[in-house]
Structure 1
Amino acid sequence: MMNDKEFEKAQASIMNKKAKLMKKLRSDRAEACKKMSEIEQAIARTEKELLGEENDFIVLCGQKSQLLRERALQVGEEIEQAIRPQQPVDKLTILFLAANPQDTQKLALDKEVRSITDAIRRSEGRDGIEFFSRWAVQSLDILQAINETDPEIIHFSGHGSEKGEIVLDDGSGNMAMVSKEAMAAAVASASKKVRLIFFNACFSQKEAQAVVEKVEAAIGMNTEIGDEAAIVFAAQFYSSIGFGQNLQQAFDQAKAALLLKGIAEENTPVLYVKKGLSAQEIVMVESEAAPKSGTVSVMQRIKNIFS
Structure 2
Amino acid sequence: MTGTNVAKKKILILAAFSAQSDLDLGKEIEEIEEIMQGGSKSFDVDQRTAKTVDKVRQAIRYESPQIVHFCGHGLEDGSFLLDDENDKTKKHPLEPKGLAGFFSNLTDVECVILNACYSVKAADLIAENIAYVIGMNRAIGDDAAIKFVRGFYEALRDEALGNRPDVFDKAFERGLQALGGHDPSQQDIPVIRKNLTVQKPEVRLISPAEHSTVPMRSTFSGTYKHLEEDMSLWLFIFAPGEGKYYLDEIVNYRNGNWEVSGVIIGGEVDNRATYEVGVLIADAEATRTLRIGSDGLKELPSGVKKFSDYSIYRE
Out of 170, 177, 187, which is 1:249 matched to?
Answer: 170
Corresponding position of 1:266:
187
**2:59 is the counterpart of 1:137:** no
**2:91 is the counterpart of 1:186:** no
Q: Provide, for residues 18-62 of structure 1, a one-character-per-residue CA deviation record: whole Å limited to 9, x for no partner.
A: xxxxxxxxxxxxxxxxxxxxxxxxxxxxxxxxxxxxxxxxxxxxx
Could you tell which deviates more after superposition, 210-219 or 114-123? 114-123
Counterpart Cα distance in 2 of 1:90 and 1:251: 23
User: Unaligned 5+ residue runs, structure 2?
Assistant: 161-166, 203-222, 227-252, 258-315
Corresponding position of 1:30:
none
Corresponding position of 2:75:
161
> Identity of counterpart residues, as a percentage?
29
Post-superposition offset of 1:302:
9.2
**2:60 is the counterpart of 1:146:** yes
Counterpart Cα distance in 2 of 1:119 and 1:223: 26
Counterpart Cα distance in 2 of 1:196 and 1:184: 13
Which gives a bigger RCO, structure 1 or 2 (Cα 8 Å, sep 6+)? Answer: 1
Counterpart Cα distance in 1 of 2:143 and 2:184: 8
Provide the secondary structure at the position in 2 that maps to 1:236.
helix
Counterpart Cα distance in 1 of 2:255 and 2:108: 28
Counterpart Cα distance in 2 of 1:188 and 1:302: 24
Taking structure 1 as the reference length, the TM-score comes to 0.58
Post-superposition offset of 1:102:
4.3
More strand by share: 2
Verify the 8 A CA contact 2:129 2:198 in the aligned structure 1.
no
Q: Provide, for residues 145-196 of structure 1, a one-character-per-residue CA deviation record: whole Å limited to 9, x for no partner.
A: 234421001111011122221222225154211111111211115x421111
Verify the 8 A CA contact 1:136 1:169 in the aligned structure 2.
no
Counterpart Cα distance in 2 of 1:296 and 1:132: 29
Corresponding position of 1:289:
none
Out of 108, 113, 116, which is 1:201 matched to?
Answer: 116
More helix by share: 1
Out of 89, 92, 95, which is 2:9 matched to?
Answer: 92
Could you tell which deviates more after superposition, 191-200 or 260-269? 260-269
Cα pair distance change 1:297/1:143, threshold 3 Å: closer
Corresponding position of 2:217:
none
Provide the secondary structure at the position in 1 that maps to 2:109.
coil
Post-superposition offset of 1:253:
0.4
Structure number with bigger Rg: 1
Counterpart Cα distance in 2 of 1:282 and 1:239: 25
Verify the 8 A CA contact 2:151 2:177 in the aligned structure 1.
no
Taking structure 2 as the reference length, the TM-score comes to 0.57
Counterpart Cα distance in 2 of 1:111 and 1:117: 10
Post-superposition offset of 1:250:
0.5
Provide the secondary structure at the position in 2 that maps to 1:127.
coil
Counterpart Cα distance in 2 of 1:236 and 1:116: 10
User: Unaligned 5+ residue runs, structure 1?
Assistant: 1-87, 284-294
Provide the secondary structure at the position in 1 that maps to 2:128.
coil
Post-superposition offset of 1:240:
1.0
